[in-house]
Amino acid sequence: MEALYTAVATSTGGRSGEVKSADGVIHLQLRPPKEMGGPGGAYTNPEQLFAAGYAACFSGAYGHVALAKGFRVRPEVTAEVTIHKVSDGFKLSVVMHIHVEGIPLKEAEELAHEAHAFCPYSRATRGNIDVQINVK
């Protein structure tokens, strides 16, 4: 396995702290969302960060598999990441909403499933979280 890039980020204080990337591009304050007893407001949380990363990665994977089949598209991917309380702690689930123009729905859905097989985030979480894919 050939390493291409390593991202480095440090969190201090967990859900009520901050997170910084080693290059300083990301420096965010974290707080639990209001729905989980947090203050709300202009803070982020691990679920939002995961949703952003997964949506970006999946969108890139979709574009890659589409191009390999001769489609030039710019998909809009929205990831809904939900945290659930379970008997032994917490669990995540994801709903991916893919909007793509210029491709018939059947092909767009097939590309979405190929992207899900190709996407590094999907590979990393496969078998660990439920992921539902919706194509428009």
pLDDT tens digits along 114-136: 999 999 999 999 999 999 999 99
pTM: 0.94
Percent share of the chain, pLDDT over 90: 97
Return the CATH class of domain 1-44: mainly beta
Return the CATH class of domain 46-135: alpha beta
CA torsion angle for 31, 126, 74, 78 (degrees, to 10)? -30
Calculate mean pLDDT across residues 64-92.
96
What are the residue boundaries of the structural domains of the chain, listed by start?
1-44, 46-135
Asked whether the predicted pLDDT for residue 91 surpasses 90, the reply is: yes
Contact 44, 30 (CB under 8 A): yes
Classify strands 130-135 and 89-99 as parallel, antiparallel or unpaired: parallel
Q: Which of 35, 34, 28, 32 is nearest to 45 (CA)?
A: 32
Give the DSSP letter of residue 17.
S
Asked whether the predicted pLDDT for residue 93 surpasses 90, the reply is: yes
> Cα-flanking dihedrals φ and ψ of residue 91, to 5°?
-145, 150
Calculate mean pLDDT across residues 72-87.
96
DSSP-derived secondary structure for 16-71: GSEEEETTSS-EEEB---GGGT---SS-B-HHHHHHHHHHHHHHHHHHHHHHHTT-
Q: What is the mean pLDDT of the chain?
A: 96
At 40 the pLDDT is 85
